[in-house]
Structure 1
Amino acid sequence: MTLDDLRAFVSVCESGSLSAVARELGCTQSAVSQRIKRLERELGITLLERQPRGVAPTHAGRILHRSAADGLGGLDHALRRLDDLRQGGGGTVRVTTGATTVRHFMSAAVVAFRQRHPRVNLEFQTENSSRGCFQALAANTADLAWITIGPPVRGVQQRPVIELPWVLAVRADDPLAELTEIGPDDLAAIRHIRLPENSVSRHRLDELLTRQGTEPDSTTSVADWDTAILLAELGLGHAVVPALPGWHESARRDLRLIPIPWLPALAAGWAVRQWDALSPVAVEFARTVAASLTDPEPEPEVVG
C-alpha cells in the first residue's frame, strides 16, 4: 500500500469514475484500477463496486475513504508547510475557478497579495463548473476554489464571501432600458439568453423563475456570464445575470444593467477541503480576496 494508491482511491471515491481520475493523473484507466486492486488484495476486502454509471465505494470502502481523506489532507498540509519553510517564506497558492473570475473578483486582491508576498507563486486553473472545482480539490490539484455557493457537498467546506444581486442586461436602445427595476411581468416577456447549462447560477435562476411562475422564452445560451452580458449589449437578447464587481456600466455606452429586486441574491465565495489544513499563505490569499470585495472602492450606480 502506497500513498499514491490511497490518493487514487480517494479520488475515485469522490469522482465516482476511474477514467476521470486517470485523466487527472495523466495515466491509463487500467493503472488506476491496478492501484485499487492492490489495496483490496492487501486489505482482503472489496472497496469499490460497479454502478450503472461509474463506481462507488462499498461499506468498507466508505470507512477507508473517510479516514484516508482526512489523513491525506493532514499530510498534504504538513508537506506544504515544510515546503514553505524550505523556500524561506515562499510557497504556492493554487486556485481553481471559472474563466473570468479573476478579472471580476480577484484583480485588486492579486495585486495587493503580490506586493506583500513577492516570493509566493499564484497558480490559477480554469474549470467550467463548481463540480469541476470540487474535483480539483478532491484530487489535491487546488488549495482554494472560487465558486457560486450551492448545496452542501460532502468533503467540501463552503464559505460565502459576497452576495450578488440579479440584474437584467439589455441594450441601451431596448424599451426595457428605460425602467428603473424589472418586475415579474417584464421578465416574462424577454428574449432570454440562458446561463451555462451546468452552472449553479443557472440552476438557481431556473428554480427562482419557476417558483415565481415566470418562464421567459430562451433564444440562446452561453458558456459564461461575460458572454451573456456581451450578447445582450449587442442586441441578441436579454441576460439575467449576477451584478459582477468588475462590470462598470458607465464605461459601456450600449449597455444597461437594471436591478431585479424580487429575485434573491446569489452568493459567491470559497470552497476548500479543510480550512484548518490550508497553508498560511493560502489562508491569507483567501482573506485578501474577501477583504477586497467586502470593503471595495465606491462603484457607479448600475442604472444609468
Structure 2
Amino acid sequence: MRDLDLTTLRMFVSVCESRNIARAAELHNIVASAISKRLLLLEDAAGHRLIERHRRGVAPTAAGEILLEHARAMLASADRVARDMADYGAGVRGQVRVLATVSSIAEFLPDDIADFLQQPAHRDIRIDIEEAQSRDLVRGLREGIAPLGVCWDAADLEGFQTRPYRHDHLAIIAHPKHPIARLKRCAFEQTLDFDHVGLPASTAVHTMLGRAAAIIGKPINYRAVVSTFDASLRCVRANLGIAVVPSEVALPVAGSFGIKVSMLTDKWAQRQFALCFQDEKRLSPAAKLLVGHLEALSKGRSQGGKVISKKA
C-alpha cells in the first residue's frame, strides 16, 4: 500500500463504527460524497473492497476489518505523538506509557507510581497508565503502543524481558448467607457447586479458572459476567453468586459491602506480577528509572532508601 492518509483513515474508522456514511460525514463536518470519494481512493490503495453497502447502512468487509484494526492502532499512535509533543512543549522532559491489567491498577500500581513521581529527581517525568486485559496488553507491547506492561506473570510473555513485581492472593467473596461465607479458607473445588460471578473470557483470570476447573473435572457455572472488581462486589452483595477476586481488593471493602472473604488455598491463587518490555536496552531513560523503582518496591525498599510495606 502507498502512504496512508490519516484523515482518510479517521473517516474510514468513523464509517465502520457508525455503519453510516452520512452520519460519519456529519461527524467530520463534510458532505457524504467527499467521504465516499476518500473511501474509493482508500480501496484503490489497498487493492481490496473495504466497505459493503446495505439497505440499512454499510459494514466493513473481511479486508476492511483487517484495515480497521490497524487504522485504530495507527490513529491512536498519531494521537499519542501529538499529546507527547504538546507535553514536551509544556515542559515535560520524560514520559512513559504503561499498559496494566485491572488487578495491578486496583491493587498497587497507582500508589507505586505516585511514590516514584514524588521523588525530586523524577519531577519532570510523566507517567500515563492505560488499563488493558492481558491479551491486549501483550499485543500492545508487541505493536509498540507502550514500552512497558504490568501483568500477571502467567500471561503469554514469550519473547519479552521481565522483572519481578508485586504479588497478591486470590480469594472467594460471598454473601453472608452463602454457605461459603462460613469458611475462612477454602479450595477452589469447594466453590464449583455454586453459581459464580466471573470476569470476561478474554481475561487471564477467566482462562486460569477454566483450566483449574477442567483439571478438577467440573464446570464453572457463571450466573453473571462483569468487567470490573467493583461490579463483582456488587453482584455478590446482591447474592447473585460468589466471585474470585484478589484479597487485596476485597478485604479493605468487605465491611462496607457486607460480604465475607475466604482465602483460596490452591497454589495458583498466589500470583506473581511482572514488569514486561521488549528490550531493556531500548527503554527510554525515564522508563528504565521507573522499572528499577517498581522492581525495588517489590523487594520492600524504594531506590531512595525508604522502606515500603510488602502489603500492597
Using the alignment, how far apart are the partners of 2:206 and 2:240 within structure 1? 19
Residues 143 and 272 of structure 1 are in contact (CA less than 8 Å); yes or no, is this contact kept in structure 2?
Answer: yes
Check 1:276–1:247 CA distance in 2 against 1; reply closer, same or farther (3 A cut).
farther
Alignment partner of 1:121 is 2:126? yes
Quote the residue 1:283 is aligned against. Answer: 288
Using the alignment, how far apart are the partners of 1:92 and 1:190 within structure 2? 47
Give the share of equivalent positions with the same residue, in percent. 18
Using the alignment, how far apart are the partners of 1:293 and 1:254 within structure 2? 31
With structure 1 as the length reference, what TM-score do the two structures score? 0.64
Residues 189 and 216 of structure 2 are in contact (CA less than 8 Å); yes or no, is this contact kept in structure 1?
Answer: no
Using the alignment, how far apart are the partners of 1:263 and 1:298 within structure 2? 19
Alignment partner of 1:258 is 2:259? no
Quote the residue 1:207 is aligned against. Answer: 211
Quote the residue 1:95 is aligned against. Answer: 98
Letter matched to residue 126 of structure 2: N
Alignment partner of 1:104 is 2:110? no
Quote the residue 2:61 is aligned against. Answer: none
Using the alignment, how far apart are the partners of 1:144 and 1:245 within structure 2? 23
Q: Which runs of 4+ in 1 moved over 6 A?
A: 86-89
What are the residue-to-residue correspondences of 1:139-154 with 2, within 5 Å? 139-150=143-154, 152-154=156-158
Using the alignment, how far apart are the partners of 1:287 and 1:233 within structure 2? 40
Check 1:156–1:192 CA distance in 2 against 1; reply closer, same or farther (3 A cut).
same
Give the Å deviation of 1:168.
0.4
Q: Which has the higher contact order (CA 8 A, sep 6+)?
A: 1
Using the alignment, how far apart are the partners of 2:165 and 2:243 within structure 1? 24
Residues 105 and 293 of structure 1 are in contact (CA less than 8 Å); yes or no, is this contact kept in structure 2?
Answer: no
Question: SS state of the match for residue 252, structure 1?
Answer: helix
Quote the residue 1:217 is aligned against. Answer: 221
Gaps of 5+ in 2: 5-64, 77-83, 301-307
Check 1:154–1:298 CA distance in 2 against 1; reply closer, same or farther (3 A cut).
closer
Deviates more, 1:290-299 or 1:249-258: 290-299
Question: SS state of the match for residue 26, structure 1?
Answer: helix
Letter matched to residue 94 of structure 1: R
Question: SS state of the match for residue 192, structure 1?
Answer: strand
Using the alignment, how far apart are the partners of 1:277 and 1:246 within structure 2? 38
Using the alignment, how far apart are the partners of 1:236 and 1:95 within structure 2? 34
Using the alignment, how far apart are the partners of 1:211 and 1:236 within structure 2? 25
With structure 2 as the length reference, what TM-score do the two structures score? 0.63
- Equivalent residue in structure 1 for 2:70, among 13, 21, 39: 21
Quote the residue 1:70 is aligned against. Answer: none
Give the Å deviation of 1:136.
2.1
Using the alignment, how far apart are the partners of 1:218 and 1:169 within structure 2? 15
Give the Å deviation of 1:25.
0.8
How many corresponding residue pairs?
233
CA RMSD of aligned residues (A): 3.5
Task: Please tell me whether Structure 1 or Structure 2 has the larger radius of gyration of its CA atoms.
Answer: 2
Check 1:245–1:268 CA distance in 2 against 1; reply closer, same or farther (3 A cut).
farther
What are the residue-to-residue correspondences of 1:1-304 with 2, within 5 Å? 17-26=66-75, 90-99=93-102, 101-116=104-119, 117-127=122-132, 129-150=133-154, 152-184=156-188, 186-244=190-248, 248-249=252-253, 251-252=255-256, 254-264=258-268, 265-295=270-300, 296-297=308-309
Using the alignment, how far apart are the partners of 1:251 and 1:284 within structure 2? 38
Letter matched to residue 280 of structure 1: P
Using the alignment, how far apart are the partners of 1:243 and 1:235 within structure 2? 19
Check 1:140–1:274 CA distance in 2 against 1; reply closer, same or farther (3 A cut).
same
Give the Å deviation of 1:297.
3.0
Give the Å deviation of 1:253.
5.1
Check 1:270–1:205 CA distance in 2 against 1; reply closer, same or farther (3 A cut).
same
Give the Å deviation of 1:88.
9.5
Give the Å deviation of 1:87.
10
Residues 187 and 214 of structure 1 are in contact (CA less than 8 Å); yes or no, is this contact kept in structure 2?
Answer: no
Check 1:98–1:104 CA distance in 2 against 1; reply closer, same or farther (3 A cut).
same
Give the Å deviation of 1:133.
1.5
